[in-house]
Amino acid sequence: MALETDGASVLLLADAEGITQTVLVPVDDTAQTGQTVTVDGEQLPLITAQVAGEEQTLVRLRSSVGAVFTDPDDPRCRSSATSRTPRRSSS
């Protein structure tokens, strides 16, 4: 993987069923659905995102700033990383 962007906006997303798995995704790879779900008494937005080549609907837990990496052999393959503590999103 090669560094594509440092200081990119990224979202921490989770599966809507039980919040058991999370994924960090560049904001550019997501879209708002206009729907929300209640998690621990808090309304959180549902987001569609490209994850492992599939469009998934996930819960937006936090937003942060991180780095985006791209596979030089397959530019469709992207990954994100952050070393900062993500914050809860307000929307």
CA distance 72 to 7: 20
For 17-33, write each residue's pLDDT tens digit. Answer: 777 788 888 888 899 99
Choose between 52 and 62: higher pLDDT: 62
DSSP state of 53: T
- Counting residues of the chain whose pLDDT is more than 70, the rounded percentage is 76
pLDDT band (50, 70, 90) for residue 65: confident
Q: Across 5-14, 38-47, 80-89, which has the greatest mean pLDDT? A: 38-47
pLDDT at 81: 67
Domain ranges of the chain: 2-83
- Per DSSP, the residues of 6-37 read EEEEEEEEEETTTS--EEEEEGGGEEEEEEEE
